[in-house]
Amino acid sequence: MEIKVGLGTCGISAGGDLVYKALKKTVREKNLDIPVKETGCMGMCYEEVLVEVVNEKESFLYAKVTADRVERIVDQHIVNKRPVEEWIVRSNTLSLQEDFFNKQNRIVLRNCGVIDPTSIEEYIDRDGYQAVQQIIEELTPDEVITMVMNSGLRGRGGGGFPTGLKWKFARESEGDKKYIICNADEGDPGAFMDRSVLEGDPHAVLEGMMIAAYAIGSDEAYVYVRAEYPLAIKRLRLAIEQCEKKRFLGEGIFGSDLDFRIKIKEGAGAFVCGEETALIASIEGKRGVPRLRPPFPAVKGLWGKPTNINNVETYANIPWIIRNGADQYAALGTKKSKGTKVFALAGKIARSGLAEVPMGITINEIVYEIGGGVKEGREFKAVQMGGPSGGCIPASMGDLKIDYDEITQTGAIMGSGGLIVLDNTTCMVDLAKFFLNFTQNESCGKCTFCRIGTKRMLEILERITAGEGKEHDIELLEELAQKIKNSSLCGLGQTAPNPVLTTIKYFREEYEAHIHEKRCPAHSCAALLTYSIIPEKCTGCTLCAIKCPVNCISGEKKELHTIDQEACIKCGQCYDVCKFEAVEKY
Amino acid sequence: MDMGIIKVTINGQQITTESGKTILEVIHDHKIDRIPTLCHDKRIEPDTSCFICVVEVEGIQKLIPSCSTMIQDNMVIYTNNERVRSSRKTALELLFSNHYADCIGPCIDNCPAHVDAQGYIALISARKYRDAIRLVKENNPLPLSIGRICVRDCEAACRRAIVDQPVGINYLKRYIADLEGENKWTPALKEKKNQKVAVIGGGPGGLTCAYYLILEGYEVTIFEKLPELGGMLRYGIPEYRLPKKILDAEINWITGLGIKVQTGVEFGKQISIKSLQDAGFNALFIAVGAHRASKMRVEGENDTEGVIPGIDFLREVILKGVPAIQGKVAIVGGGNTAIDAARTALRCGVDEVKIIYRRSRNEMPAHSEEIEAAQNEGVEINFLTLPKSIIRDGKTLKAIECLKMKLEDAGPGERPKPVPIPGSEFILDCDFLISAIGQQIESSSLTGEKDLKLESWGSVVVDQKTMETSIPGVFAGGDVVTGAYTAISAIAQGKQAACSIDDYLKNGQTGRGNGKYLSFKHYFGEIPSRELERITKSDRITMPEIPLAIRKKTFREVETGLTDEQSCIESERCLECGCSEYYDCALRKLADEFDLDISDYLGETRKYEVDTRHPFILLDPNKCINCGRCTRTCSEILKVASMGFVYRGFKAIVKPAMEKPLLDTNCISCGNCIDTCPTGAITEKFPFKVLGTLPKENRETICNFCSIGCKINYKVINDDIVYVSNSTEGIKDSHNKGYLCMKGRFGHRYLMNGNKVQSATIRKNGKPEQVDSDKAIDHAAKRIKEIVDQHGPQSVALFCSPKLPNEQLYLLQKFGRSGLGTNNIASIDTLVNETALIDLDDSLGITSSTVTMDDFQKADLLVVVNGDLSEENLIMELKIKEAQKNGTKLILINSSEIKLTKFADLWIDSRKGTNTVLMNAIIQQVIERNQYDETSIRSTVEGLEELKKMIAMFRKEEACDIAEIDEEKFDTLVDLLNNPSSNIIFIYNLDSRKEKTKNDLKAIGNYLLLTNRFSRRNNGLMLLRDYSNSAGHLDMGVDPDHLPGYVKFFEREEIKRIEQMWNTDLERVFLPTDIKKELMEGKIKAVLIFGEDPLACLDTARWFKNMEFLLVHDSFYTDTARRAEVVLPAPSFIEDRGTYTNCERRLQESIPVIYPNNMNEGWETISKLASCFNGGFGYESIKAIFSEMCTINRMYREGKPNSVLVNPVILGKFFTRNKKPNFAIIDYDLKTINPLKTSFSYSEMFFRKNIKSNLFH
């Protein structure tokens, strides 16, 4: 029997460290010979801290564990062998109403939340590093590439370029030196797939890189990981050290005559460095600024040498494909999008967390069946996919199948897997403004259209949400958006207008309401709100008048209060404090 | 990349081209379209940021940046369709929406006539008054009048007003106009045309139109109703503001250009449009003004005695003298006419003058200085007062009833509205009432013209751009169009009408290009106070006036004009808002092509302070468009990286590294960033004021600062103001690719304010006296002849600077040998350098480069010995860095660390003074390892055995010991050098004192001979020199040891050939001589120095103690010139012409950038002087000298300017005694000479003192 504590960043931020310490202490105090281990994110971030008690046959997952609950779990479950059923959310023996995992298929996340990421042995125990040894002994590089091509795996960083083909280009490029790069510069707001994989199963990524290195003929690799992921860096560094000790990395890896080294390069947090040419510039010590492709990195990459770049999730898929075969991978998904995809569910969704689903699943299935629907029973309005480069897909298109090409058709993109659920309190103009503000700040400032054009778009959105929209603003936004998309160097600029374009496409009437009627249909834009007191409901309790920071509410005690609309600053405090729902906003 | 042949379709045209090029290159190469770009500089890798160069490629959804996209087979490209143009336009609008900067000064923009105020102020500050008035007259032919009475829209817009007070722009204009006096600057009139133009109305509009038309050659007649020309200037402005004498002078100057004048002819009576057309006038300009006073709308104003319209009053005073006006005078109105009337009335001797104005002081439209003057003179102003009715006795005025008013807000942007206060009536006694509330057009004169379209209020309808009326060929302007308005506006319309009339008569139609887009700071809201706080406050100059007591009684002009000193002080107050790159800014030029409108994109704007901390370089980040050309040039070409981008997104901007002052980074002040910057974000900090919109001319010549002879482009303003700008397209193809070092870029500055020799002088009684050049030459000739008669020809010596062109050097040595009969010909520099300059003569017959800088590209190894290229020859360093990109390796041999060290693959830090030892040790290794073709060398080169003998002593161990380098390093060096298949070039600076030892060049020569590298391509020697013509200097025979073409004493046949051509007996002249010794011993009595300054240096000054006569030919009053008996003025290098031979033996032509007044070119002076001694110097032109020089000089026979002269050594020709190459046998005792203590060379001193010292203060 052993106890595992989810100690991904999600677990730690929910207090996992304290639970882990408490468990260790309690087990020690009670002289129990039970190992307490750490593991990565299990996906159910909404239930953190998660503690799993496993023995050979059974597994019990405790949710929302606090240090206070540790004593009882140990006493009742470990000592007295009676699981504390009311705290358990998942178990292979108990019948529980839990369907977070029902529609999932965990390939990338196969070890996350299962093994101890700090132990190479546990990874090896789960057939780790067998794939790489197998190919070195049995397959030629071309055969490996064919296998990856046959699997149908497409780049999980967002572009969706066929991975096998990318490898083939890098292999065919002439050069005495070639590089492998793992892009772990995950930067989309609300996306944390790569972080969880690096924290929960770093060896899978390393093994994927080794296979890629063998396939294209590289002996040196970089993992470009953002410095804001300290735990991921720590675990990755440890994993590399462990590999070097075992001669999986270094000279003559796995007893072959091949050399391979992996270095970590910490990114300083520039979003644009997720773009591959900017990332390369950053590794080279230059300002992280993209350059025109072609030449693609496969031809001219790091230090001008042929370079293969994939992201974390892509590499993590590779060992599984090698071991289970291309066909088995290709059996999952749709015609053009194979395998699974990890999504980070966030926003107004009941169960936020990490879910790995087979391609072809519908948006509604993810939102309702995995995510448990919208929080607090509000109305599901749209999903935002692909982060700042992506777009909004309205609820009416909920039956859309998750597939690279289907999603692109809508104006959104698959992206790296951020999936933000929006409800009827979200203003779509404001949402577009949020993402544009993000890209505007993260633009490297090189191209005219991205640097100034997105700024001007943002200013237009700002004036619309402030109630100062002008007659032809929507057309101006659309025109600028097209020009920015057409005339920017890298993906950041080319996709920056997407959130604006898709919200205009599906929610044009919201823009129009802001501009023509000076009204925010979602009651979200402060400048456009009107607060007033419903006479029938007001009891004259004076609370709103006391709270009002500008003293614009007047009325005698126990008499009807009124708001001076001229003076009101629309802070909404009256609305929040009224116990009788007598304040309405519209 | 495959260089296959591909087919593409561009704008429907099929093109066959090479692959491996960018779309932009192909389109430019085939001259299909001029695709604009801002971020691309063909000398650096494309970066793709501005997105101006986009094109549409069929099958690709996005637009494609053509500067960085490789062209591919079967591409179908559109370079200029609607979509492309629209994208470019938006890109420009976005860039301009964040371009917080002024293209031109707001003063120029706000002036209706767009007179370049900033330009003439700058010229005034440079004391170039005549140029200044010329500039004014380009748009305003009436500066004397306007300089006195203008409403000064320029000053209203002046930015200085935000700091303290606006610059007294109009005072300055008056100053330069007054200064002209009788001698007015007049432009050249074009050839007479057979077309007649009638100008109706002789006011400022009519006069202006007539002026610009007469310049174009038209026959112009002015028809004027009143007795004299001048319009309102004469009849509306009182004498004390604009004396009629002044106005007459100005009008007479204009009419004196050939304009016919008919006065007393009234339009609508004696003449009409038809009558004029019938009389043969091809075009008409109507400018009859607005002379009818507006009514007060008070009962009785028309028939009360004593009520006079203001404008009539003023006209009467002019026409008839002082009218019968007395007692108490009330004047209604608040404009300039009211003030004029009040002050005039006062001067007529009335008892009291009161002005009645219905608003307050703030709203008063009259000029505030005028109001003040009136008040000072005793005029009382009743503000907020309205005349209600006239109180009279019979028909005679007694008083007026007035109402008090209050002001009410009339909304934003509107003047407050005066509203009567009920019951506030009061009585104001007065004997005369002058109504001065405005003028109207005399519509009766126009209504007779049925086809002439008028506005309902009577003014003539015109096309605002062309001034054309509803009748073709009939134009109108001035008050008759605008209603009573300003003189400068009439002038503006007069000029515009003249342009349109010219257009109409030439092309039968009118219509000028639409207005350009210009950027102004005020488009972007308020100017941040921090920007203005930095400006030191200084009060506007006060216009001197005649004393108040006199003023009140006479009509004498009140303002007396600025003094010279005052005008200079005032001109210095100009903030120079307009951009110095007005003509060269690529961004602004593009704006002309698109009809830009930034209003949709106005939002947040970057507002930075201009960084003025660098002495030569001005950084204005507000103008930066983030193209990165400067940072890429700095980091990729120069490898300095002193600038880079900081911040992200909208805030991203180029700043010096770590946002430090540029000078505190590793900036080397080369200024190449200035030349690559497409806008005015990086500009030169001029030592003069920025000159508005004054056009600049490009003049390309060669740099005179070192032996690389870079192509350099001077910008010339007004034929005398000069600065360097290597930003022209063509110069990027030069051998230096347009790049310059600090010397070239900024070094010419001393020419602008140095102590120049203006005329010839002869010293009499210890004092130099200015004389005519010819007289000075005669005097010099006489003195030299005396000395030659007394002491013989060898008592004369000529010293000629290696900065002089070949023609002058050739002429000088010929003058010496054939004219004077002396062989004492050298340069001080040669003498200081002793024998090193001809160190290879014994081995090869000539000491000169055998490679060009282009050969570096194919070299495997470059070895730099003795020289600090970063300091001395930066452009060569760039060539090395460029070669390194292709894998060329660099070895440095020098004791101290220099900037280039960090780019070296191997640095041999041998002890100073041991390089000869080191080289000999290398040779010893070559021989010991037998890494040379002994058989072949033995048969081709003399002296192998002697070399072996000599070299035996240089064992590796001892050599390393002496040079203090470790043996391992030495081995690495030898391994690299002794690879026979490597291409190796040695780079050696002959003049640099840095690491030089006595025989190291000989040793390098031996190594190159031994390894047979002189005759192999991409191998050999690059000899760097300090002066621009050091190579030509030796080639021309300015050396006692050889004649032109390295002809030495033993070459009898060659000497004979030259003898015959010169018609001289050289046998008695061309003999070995030691000039330095003869100087010291006092044998040389007459010294003629051309462009050198030996007396500035104590070391050389002592050589000249014994001379009796000194002649100096120089551009500057050097220390030597100060001591000379005769000084002859020489043009400076940017004023002179001739050919130069650079370190690569590239023969290049230098042309004058500016032409000095009354000064002979260098060769002319020398010819004149020489002609006093011998007849062979009567050259017609410098070309004649060049062709004689090429015939005489065997190395220049094939010489063509801008081609590389081949070193005879490469062709296997050796001018040695045995006509073979010889190993130099160095008499060696392992002793080395001490390097000179100065760490920089002689030629650097001047530069350091004059230019570089600026960087450290």
- Which of B 625-644 lie inside 8 A of A, CB atoms? 625-626, 628, 644
Summarised one tens digit per residue, pLDDT across range B688-712 is 888 888 888 999 999 998 899 999 9
Percent of chain A with pLDDT over 70: 100
Task: Please count the other Cβ atoms lying within 10 Å of the Cβ belonging to residue B1200.
Answer: 12
Does the beta carbon of B664 lie under 8 angstroms from any beta carbon of chain A?
no
B494, pLDDT greater than 50: yes
B1190, pLDDT greater than 60: yes
Does the beta carbon of A451 lie under 8 angstroms from any beta carbon of chain B?
yes
| Contact yes or no for A442 and B648 at CB 8 A | yes
Q: What is the pLDDT of residue B474?
A: 96
Q: How far is B91 from chain A (nearest CA, A)?
A: 6
Q: Which one of B47, B52, B647 has the shortest CB-CB distance to A445?
A: B647
Contacts of B87 in chain A (CB under 8 A): 483, 486-487
Q: Stretch B986-1013: mean pLDDT, rounded?
A: 86
Name, in order, each residue with C-beta under 8 angstroms of B1202's C-beta and a sequence gap of 6 or more: B1146, B1147, B1148, B1149
Name, in order, each residue with C-beta under 8 angstroms of B77's C-beta and a sequence gap of 6 or more: B8, B9, B10, B11, B23, B27, B55, B56, B57, B58, B66
Q: What is the pLDDT of residue B443?
A: 76
CA closest to A440 among chain B residues: B649
B611, pLDDT greater than 90: yes
pLDDT band at A158 (very low <50, low <70, confident <90, very high): confident
| Contact yes or no for A494 and B62 at CB 8 A | yes
DSSP state of A224: E
Q: How far is A439 from chain B (nearest CA, A)?
A: 8
Q: How far is B978 from chain A (nearest CA, A)?
A: 27
Summarised one tens digit per residue, pLDDT across range B896-921 is 888 999 999 999 998 887 888 899 99
Task: Determine contact, residues B175/B561, Cβ cutoff 8 Å.
Answer: yes
For residue B488, give the nearest of B108, B111, B105, B202 by alpha carbon. B111
B1236, pLDDT greater than 50: no
B1238, pLDDT greater than 70: no
Contacts of B89 in chain A (CB under 8 A): none
CA A371 – CA B314 distance, rounded (Å):
91
Mean residue pLDDT across chain B: 91
Q: What is the pLDDT of residue B1247?
A: 57
Question: Best mutation site among B1, B71, B89, B90 for testing chain A: the one with the most A CBs within 10 Å?
Answer: B90
CA B627 – CA B311 distance, rounded (Å):
59
Summarised one tens digit per residue, pLDDT across range A248-287 is 999 999 989 899 999 999 998 889 999 999 999 999 999 9
Compute and round to an integer the Cα radius of gyration of chain A.
26
Percent of chain B with pLDDT over 70: 96
Q: Which one of B54, B61, B649 has the shortest CB-CB distance to A451?
A: B649
CA B107 – CA B692 distance, rounded (Å):
10
Q: Stretch B742-752: mean pLDDT, rounded?
A: 84
Does the beta carbon of B830 lie under 8 angstroms from any beta carbon of chain A?
no
Beta strands in A211-282 (DSSP E): 220-226, 261-267
Give the distance, in angstroms, between the CA of residue B79 and the centroid of all CA atoms in the same chain. Answer: 34
Which tokens sit at B550? 């006199």
Q: Which one of B600, B625, B648 has the shortest CB-CB distance to A270?
A: B648
Distances in Å between the Cα of B1099 and the Cα atoms of A516, B831, B1102, B1103, B1105 are 87, 12, 6, 8, 12
Q: Which one of A289, A442, A487 has the shortest CB-CB distance to B91?
A: A487
Contacts of A451 in chain B (CB under 8 A): 626, 649-650, 652
CA closest to A286 among chain B residues: B644
Summarised one tens digit per residue, pLDDT across range B415-464 is 889 999 999 999 999 999 999 988 888 877 888 888 999 988 889 999 98
Which tokens sit at B568? 């200079």
CA closest to A455 among chain B residues: B650
Q: Stretch A455-482: mean pLDDT, rounded?
A: 95
CA A37 – CA A98 distance, rounded (Å):
24
B387, pLDDT greater than 50: yes
Q: How far is B85 from chain A (nearest CA, A)?
A: 11
Q: How far is B651 from chain A (nearest CA, A)?
A: 7
Q: Stretch B474-485: mean pLDDT, rounded?
A: 93
Summarised one tens digit per residue, pLDDT across range B766-779 is 899 999 999 999 99
Phi and psi of A428, rounded to 5°? -70, -30
CA B1107 – CA B797 distance, rounded (Å):
10
Phi and psi of B319, rounded to 5°? -75, -40
Q: What is the pLDDT of residue B354?
A: 94
Question: If you write DSSP's letter for every residue of B420-432 in order, what string do you get?
Answer: EPTT--EEEE-SE
Identify any residues that bridge with A313 across adjacent strands, giving them in sequence order.
Answer: none
| Contact yes or no for A447 and B604 at CB 8 A | no
| Contact yes or no for B652 and A488 at CB 8 A | no
Q: Stretch B973-1001: mean pLDDT, rounded?
A: 85
Task: Determine contact, residues A41/A92, Cβ cutoff 8 Å.
Answer: no
Does the beta carbon of B55 lie under 8 angstroms from any beta carbon of chain A?
no
Which tokens sit at A424? 């009827």
Q: What is the pLDDT of residue A95?
A: 72
Q: How far is A492 from chain B (nearest CA, A)?
A: 11
| Contact yes or no for A451 and B650 at CB 8 A | yes
Summarised one tens digit per residue, pLDDT across range A302-354 is 999 999 999 999 999 999 999 999 999 999 999 999 999 999 999 999 999 99
Does the beta carbon of B91 lie under 8 angstroms from any beta carbon of chain A?
yes
B876, pLDDT greater than 90: yes
Helix (H) or strand (E) holding A390: none
B1230, pLDDT greater than 60: no
Q: What is the pLDDT of residue B680?
A: 95
Task: Please count the other Cβ atoms lying within 10 Å of the Cβ belonging to residue A219.
Answer: 15
Give the distance, in angstroms, between the CA of residue B356 and the centroid of all CA atoms in the same chain. Answer: 54
Does the beta carbon of A483 lie under 8 angstroms from any beta carbon of chain B?
yes
Does the beta carbon of A492 lie under 8 angstroms from any beta carbon of chain B?
no
| Contact yes or no for B98 and A452 at CB 8 A | yes
Summarised one tens digit per residue, pLDDT across range B188-208 is 999 999 999 999 999 999 999
Distances in Å between the Cα of B155 and the Cα atoms of B110, B131, B442, B484, B904 are 9, 21, 32, 21, 59
Task: Determine contact, residues B224/B264, Cβ cutoff 8 Å.
Answer: yes
Does the beta carbon of B54 lie under 8 angstroms from any beta carbon of chain A?
yes
CA B481 – CA B500 distance, rounded (Å):
16
pLDDT band at B1 (very low <50, low <70, confident <90, very high): very low
Q: What is the pLDDT of residue B413?
A: 76
* B753 vs B405, more confident: B405
- Which of A 284-323 lie inside 8 A of B, CB atoms? 287, 289, 291-292, 294
Does the beta carbon of A103 lie under 8 angstroms from any beta carbon of chain B?
no
A20, pLDDT greater than 50: yes
Task: Determine contact, residues B282/B196, Cβ cutoff 8 Å.
Answer: yes
Contacts of A490 in chain B (CB under 8 A): none
B1246, pLDDT greater than 60: no
Summarised one tens digit per residue, pLDDT across range B84-140 is 999 999 999 999 999 999 999 999 999 999 999 999 999 999 999 999 999 999 999
| Contact yes or no for A449 and B603 at CB 8 A | no
Contacts of B647 in chain A (CB under 8 A): 445
Does the beta carbon of A453 lie under 8 angstroms from any beta carbon of chain B?
yes
Does the beta carbon of B457 lie under 8 angstroms from any beta carbon of chain A?
no
CA closest to A437 among chain B residues: B649
Percent of chain B with pLDDT over 90: 73
Summarised one tens digit per residue, pLDDT across range B216-269 is 999 999 999 999 999 999 999 999 999 999 999 999 999 999 999 999 999 989
Q: What is the pLDDT of residue B994?
A: 65
pLDDT band at B753 (very low <50, low <70, confident <90, very high): low
A with B: how many residue pairs have Cβ under 8 Å apart? 105
Q: How far is B885 from chain A (nearest CA, A)?
A: 12
Which tokens sit at B409? 């807000």
* B1155 vs B677, more confident: B677
Q: Stretch A78-98: mean pLDDT, rounded?
A: 82
Summarised one tens digit per residue, pLDDT across range B1081-1131 is 999 999 999 999 999 888 888 889 889 999 999 999 999 999 999 999 999
Q: How far is A438 from chain B (nearest CA, A)?
A: 10
Does the beta carbon of A477 lie under 8 angstroms from any beta carbon of chain B?
no
Task: Please count the other Cβ atoms lying within 10 Å of the Cβ belonging to residue B546.
Answer: 14
Task: Determine contact, residues B310/B337, Cβ cutoff 8 Å.
Answer: yes
Q: What is the pLDDT of residue B1237?
A: 44
For residue B826, give the nearest of B1048, B1049, B1076 by alpha carbon. B1076
Question: If you write DSSP's letter for every residue of B447-459 in order, what string do you get?
Answer: HT-TTS-B-TTSP
CA closest to B56 among chain A residues: A486
Which tokens sit at A265? 């390069």
Per 3-state DSSP, chain A is made up of helix, strand and coil in percentages (nearest 5) of 45, 15, 40
Axis crossing angle, helix B586-593 with helix B82-96, rounded to the nearest 10: 130
Contacts of A464 in chain B (CB under 8 A): none
Q: How far is B79 from chain A (nearest CA, A)?
A: 14
Task: Determine contact, residues A543/A578, Cβ cutoff 8 Å.
Answer: yes
- Which of A 384-443 lie inside 8 A of B, CB atoms? 440-443
Q: Which one of A291, A441, A480 has the shortest CB-CB distance to B648?
A: A441
Q: Which one of A272, A287, A440 has the shortest CB-CB distance to B650?
A: A440
A383, pLDDT greater than 60: yes
| Contact yes or no for A455 and B69 at CB 8 A | no
Q: What is the pLDDT of residue B1239?
A: 44
Q: How far is B50 from chain A (nearest CA, A)?
A: 5
| Contact yes or no for A445 and B649 at CB 8 A | yes
Q: What is the pLDDT of residue B1245?
A: 57
CA closest to A271 among chain B residues: B648
